[in-house]
Structure 1
Amino acid sequence: MLTKKQIIIGLAAFGAISTGCDKSAEQKTTKSGYKYAHVLENEGDKAIDNDVVEYNLTIYNNTDSVLYTSDRETLFPPATLINPRDTASVFGQVFRETTVGDSVLVDVKTEDLFGPMVPPQFGKAGDPIKLGIKVLSMEPKEEYQRGIELRFEQQKDKEIAEIEKFLKDNNIEAQRTENGLFYVIHEEGKGTKPEAGQTVSVHYTGTLMTSGEKFDSSVDRGEPFEFPLGQGRVIKGWDEGIALLNKGAKATLYIPSDLAYGPREAGPKIKPFSILKFDVELLDIKKK
């Protein structure tokens, strides 16, 4: 019998509800009036107050076309806290009727999901849509938070190993900081290194380490980038890496995602948990 534990964690991909909008499944009604039907039903404990439920979500329109799916490889699928004060929302209601491994189809209106401001790709307020929900895990909030921390640690270890392999395969000798930033100084500069609060001027070219694809370059624009060092205005890997250089130095920074954008996307090319490579030149250090 399944219990309220995560049965699959990490980078495993979960399929969307493969049966689509199966109209043959028997419909039930939640306490708030949402109609739902089990496509796949398991035995086990159902979510209770203060549980966090992770799930995959597929949204269908009234002709069964897929408008959205969260079904992709990710460390962090959508998750909902079962709030004891929330007795009406569609997710709060449906998850009280399901267990780990269940797949359900729920009939709702667009405003049930988005409120009055419905994104145009999902139609307009009042349009019927179906939610295909596959329950991936459910566990108490405290356990879920500890699990999230563990996933971050495992992801960082994975990325560090990936950077080390890249450097070894390409015969690159790099230094590593305690935080996991790898760097190679190609040309030493002169003078002192910048201090927190000083404005630095930097030329850079940023690429994805694994693919080598360029995503940004001040060199291509012909315009150096200026920022106050150590003030959180840039990614952590930059604040740490530029502080290692003196004026005129040229270096390459290999930045794991926890020192970059982490689980967030940053533009069309930088996906969640991307390892970034920056070729940088510290052009100037200005007084505070």
Structure 2
Amino acid sequence: MSRRFRRLPLALLPLVLVAALSGCGSDDGSSSDSGSQALDAVSISGDFGSEPTVDWKGKMTADTIENTTITEGDGATVEDGDTVTTNIWIGNGFTQKKAFSTYDAKQPQDLTIDDQKVSPVFVDAIKGATIGSRIAVTAPADKAFGASGNTQLGIGNKDSVLIIIDLMSEPTPPLDAPKGASKPSPAWAPKLVQKDGAVTSLDFSKAPEPDGKLHSAALIQGTGAVVKKGQTITVNYLGQVYGGKKPFDESYSKGDPVSFGIGSGQVIPGWDKTLVGAKIGSRMILAIPPADGYGKAGQPSAGIKGTDTLYFVVDILGAS
């Protein structure tokens, strides 16, 4: 989803993680399940699937990348090209402080095991492991994240890093399109303009003026699971202000759906309030007043005034 729909500062969390994962780390000198000596500097406790407790005994020194399986799962083996849902904890071995955790935002991350998309330090740790495993990675920052370290995480290139990865599950592949029974369009909704099955714009010629209330309805009632607060959902969407002649943003023409956390403040309130509780496979139509959108300030970069009501069509294709 376009960053203009995200709210700060929580909006930065996925961007920080992506920046960390897209570093140019190297696997030179790495080893696997070797019983890392660097781990002698910490004590790691806590149950798989919950945020680990890390007690530092002193500064961590790491000369190479080392992977250690703390808990071995009994699920499927992760192979090249697989996508796996993970929780990730990152600590700075020099400052002995947590730098990042997906547990803070209750936002697991789906990673595709492909070193063109994900830093090799993560690929090497995850590939060949089994779902249900907790893996610890110790590494010098320059080998984990590249020559500059990772300034967004507060990790210098001379620091050491501790990365703890919980392999949660293999996510269900998202749908290609909405799936379910068609429902009548509500009286407040504009008409959808479509081409080759994709929504291209909204037609307000017969739609009543906004009433200042938040509205949502399913145009296609999905048959999948209910979307829950804190999940990551995958959607196609289009947004247009009331009376607008064209969308201010959309994903249909870009070829790939987008994923983001829902119910956790990462998107405008109107999305959090209406998409939690909807079913996977649904096509939702939303009318969002300024109070549940961008407020009185609007979003000038998108051409949205503080008085504009936003209308969205959202295809919910998956959730993890």
TM-score, normalising length from structure 2?
A: 0.42
TM-score, normalising length from structure 1?
A: 0.45
